[in-house]
Amino acid sequence: MKNEAKMSLLDSLKNVIEAKKRKIEIFSYIIGLISFILLGKLIGNNGVAYMAVIVESIGLFVLMIHGRSADLIGRLIRSRRKKNQYKEAGELFKAIVMIQIIAAVVMMVVYFFLTDILATVIFKLPFLSVALKILTPVIILSVLQSAV
């Protein structure tokens, strides 16, 4: 009985943490939009176009890697923990994080080599490829942040 009370307390605490994490994500998105608006006046239309392409292309690659996997990981681990399968929950978490890291590294390499095509052929912004290559590590950092 005592163990079940601890588990329900931990689950409710995790739900509160997940809700706060979502609020922080929404808040950071709003800050990003405001910075786009403010920087638009400073750097002009071309600068905003470069920033928008960078944010959207990196967002697309990150979305292809993990999507909403954080919710899936949470559900799978909670179900294992409710069954008192703590070791399996830890192994499952490690396996999923490793798969995501491998996928992020692969997508990072693909993105790095596609930056010239993205910049010149698709978006027709030739100087964008340098900025895209510099910001390529953001992909793996974003996936790591969402997994943990």
Model-level pTM? Answer: 0.63
Sign of the C-alpha dihedral, residues 26, 28, 34, 37? Answer: negative
Residue 97: per-residue pLDDT: 80
Mean pLDDT of 10-32: 69
Burial, 22: exposed, middle or buried (Cβ in 10 Å; 0-12, 13-18, 19+)? exposed
pLDDT in tens, 42-89: 777 777 777 777 777 777 777 777 666 767 777 777 777 777 777 777
pLDDT at residue 16 is higher than 70: no
Mean pLDDT of the chain: 75
Residue 79: per-residue pLDDT: 77
